[in-house]
């Protein structure tokens, strides 16, 4: 069952994207930039054959489209109805899902969350990362990006900034082992930390 988090900033953020989704979609190139494409290829290499990746915050669906072009099935989700509608217009199914308040299902062959978890409050990020770790198969991949920096902003689209070591510690504490990470500055001058992790959990011994 989908519901919006009780946090006021989260509701404001979702409301902002409901209003801005159409304009935002016009700015998005249908092909991911080179840095992101390479990161998606790294995730795809960790997905077991035939297994599905869940995407948190699918937006316009560009990254899911790219993964599917590599032969990876994707369960697309977003907290914003407007993005689901945009993708539905080209035949894509997007489930409404709030990563803070809803169960992710699974276990999946991978999780994708690019440019979305910066909207999760700093005091809720640990539970979200634990939820992700619990939703993927042992050894499966999780590709995530957050804004680099310190502090946070508030409404209409609140954002938390993270230093590399700080977010890496959160990932490790959640049971996610870092395989690769990098810092990218995009064409707008925004700095993004991208991490590829694997579930550090293993099946219990017989």
Contact (Cβ atoms closer than 8 angstroms) between residue 103 and residue 54: no
The answer to whether the Cα torsion of 141, 152, 131, 61 is positive or negative is: negative
User: Across-strand partners of 143?
Assistant: 112, 196
Rounded distance between C-alpha atoms, residue 83 and residue 64, angstroms:
13
User: pTM of the predicted model, to two decimals?
Assistant: 0.90
Residue with the two structure tokens 């993004």: 192
pLDDT tens string 132-159: 999 999 989 999 999 999 999 887 888 9
| Domains assigned to the chain | 8-199 (3.40.50.150)
Q: Check whether 203 has a pLDDT greater than 80.
A: no
pLDDT tens string 181-198: 999 999 889 999 999 999
Contact (Cβ atoms closer than 8 angstroms) between residue 111 and residue 54: yes
Contact (Cβ atoms closer than 8 angstroms) between residue 2 and residue 56: no
pLDDT tens string 84-115: 999 999 999 999 999 999 999 999 999 999 99
Q: Check whether 6 has a pLDDT greater than 60.
A: no
Residue 137 host element (H or E): strand 136-148
Question: Where does the pLDDT of residue 11 fall: very low under 50, low under 70, confident under 90, or very high at 90 and above?
Answer: confident
Instruction: Tell me the average pLDDT across 70-95.
Output: 97
């Amino acid at each position: 069952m989908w519901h919006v988090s009780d946090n006021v900033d989260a509701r404001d953020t979702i409301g902002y994207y409901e209003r801005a989704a159409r304009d935002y979609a016009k700015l998005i190139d249908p092909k991911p930039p080179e840095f992101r494409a390479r990161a998606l290829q790294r995730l795809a290499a960790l997905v077991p054959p035939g297994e599905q990746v869940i995407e948190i915050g699918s937006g316009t669906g560009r990254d899911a489209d790219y993964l599917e072009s590599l032969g990876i099935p994707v369960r697309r989700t977003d907290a914003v109805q407007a993005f689901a509608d945009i993708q539905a217009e080209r035949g894509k199914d997007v489930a409404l899902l709030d990563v803070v308040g809803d169960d992710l299902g699974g276990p999946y062959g991978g999780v994708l969350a690019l440019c979305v978890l910066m909207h999760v409050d700093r005091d809720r990020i640990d539970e979200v990362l634990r939820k992700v770790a619990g939703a993927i198969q042992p050894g499966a991949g999780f590709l995530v990006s957050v804004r680099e920096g310190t502090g946070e902003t508030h409404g209409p689209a609140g954002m938390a900034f993270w230093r590399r070591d700080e977010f890496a510690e959160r990932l490790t504490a959640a049971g996610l082992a870092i395989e690769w990470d990098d810092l990218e500055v995009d064409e707008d001058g925004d700095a993004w930390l991208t991490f590829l992790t694997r579930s550090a959990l293993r099946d219990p011994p017989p």
